[in-house]
A = this chain, B = another copy of it.
Amino acid sequence: MPRLFRTVRVRVLRDLDAEAAEDFLVAELGRRLVEVVARCRVRYEGRAESTLAEGDRVILFKPDGTLLVHSARGLKPVNWQPSGAVFHARRENGVLVVTSSRSAPKETVRMELVELHAVMSVELEDGAALALSGSEADLHAVLHARPDLVEPGFSVDGAERDTGRGPMDIVGTDERGRRVVVEVKRRAASVADVEQLRRYVERERAARAGVVRGVLLAPQVSGKARRYLDELGLECREVDWARAREAATTVRAAGQKSLAGWEA
């Protein structure tokens, strides 16, 4: 039985030898979140292949079968495996070896833990979910509240998204009754985004008679993207989403105010 320093949530392995660590990992992997700091070698085989020579890294094994191998620098783990992997710890010739395997796609990460610096496990109680705002779905809502942000006289035509012809962001009608396909981007738009719009516009033109306009709505549109839009007879409009959201909020607040007035 491995000797531990314990607190309510944390178990820290006292003896950093391969045997004690093996026992600890066998007991904890897949059950609690395990952190290992170790000098290690890493090999990955699957969709691609990689090798990582000996060095110190921080390794996280989450109870859902997520693996993260982090070096001292950078956001991305140097090796990883998404949730669903199965962990296995054992000794080979006295060296502690941990593997993480998944199927679909079949992939394995093999870690040889040459020298252990720290081994611990944690019980994470967490009932909270991230509440995010400002994603593209939110911007769609903003445009429904303030269709004039596309252009004066523009109106959104119901849930056209679900008609099965193609998952267009927003379809509406302009001042002069012409159909308008709008592609919404929360970030700067590039040529690839122009092509996405082009595809939707072409499909819409094929599906129905009459003029169909295409508008790319983004905080910024690159020079090449602009030229490409020109070539294709498509348009763009730049939007400051922060300001647009405020505007939409104002509309909603004004609506509430008038409601309050009506109540009084």
Interface of A toward B, CB cutoff 8 Å: 5, 7-10, 12, 16, 33, 35, 37, 39, 47-58, 60, 62-64, 66, 68, 70-75, 78-83, 117-118, 120, 122-135, 186-187, 191-192, 195-196, 198-199
Contacts and interface: CB of A to CB of B under 8 A. Distances in A.
Q: Looking at chain A's contact residues, is the secondary structure mostly helix, strand, loop, or mixed?
A: mixed
19 contacts: A5-B5, A7-B117, A8-B117, A9-B37, A9-B56, A9-B117, A12-B12, A48-B186, A49-B132, A49-B134, A55-B128, A68-B70, A68-B75, A73-B83, A75-B81, A79-B130, A118-B122, A192-B192, A192-B195
Contacts of A48: 132-135, 186
A132 to B, nearest CB: 4
Return the 4 tightest CB-CB contacts between A and B, nearest first.
A48-B134, A55-B126, A53-B128, A56-B124
Contact of A117 (B122, B130, B199): B122
A53 B52 CA distance: 37
Copies held by the complex: 2
A126 to B, nearest CB: 3
Given A70-B60, A72-B64, A73-B64, A127 B49 contact: no
A122 B74 CA distance: 16
Contacts of A135: 48
Contacts of A82: 75
A73 B53 CA distance: 28
Given A48-B135, A122-B118, A72 B128 contact: no
A49 B134 CA distance: 6
Given A48-B132, A51-B131, A118-B10, A58 B74 contact: no
A33 B73 CA distance: 9
A133 B45 CA distance: 10
Contacts of A132: 48-50
A130 B57 CA distance: 13
A199 B49 CA distance: 31
A123 B8 CA distance: 26
Nearest to A50: B132
Contact of A74 (B35, B39, B64): B64
Given A10-B117, A60-B70, A117-B7, A52 B130 contact: yes
A197 to B, nearest CB: 11
Contacts of A75: 66, 68, 80-83
Contacts of A83: 73-75
A110 to B, nearest CB: 14
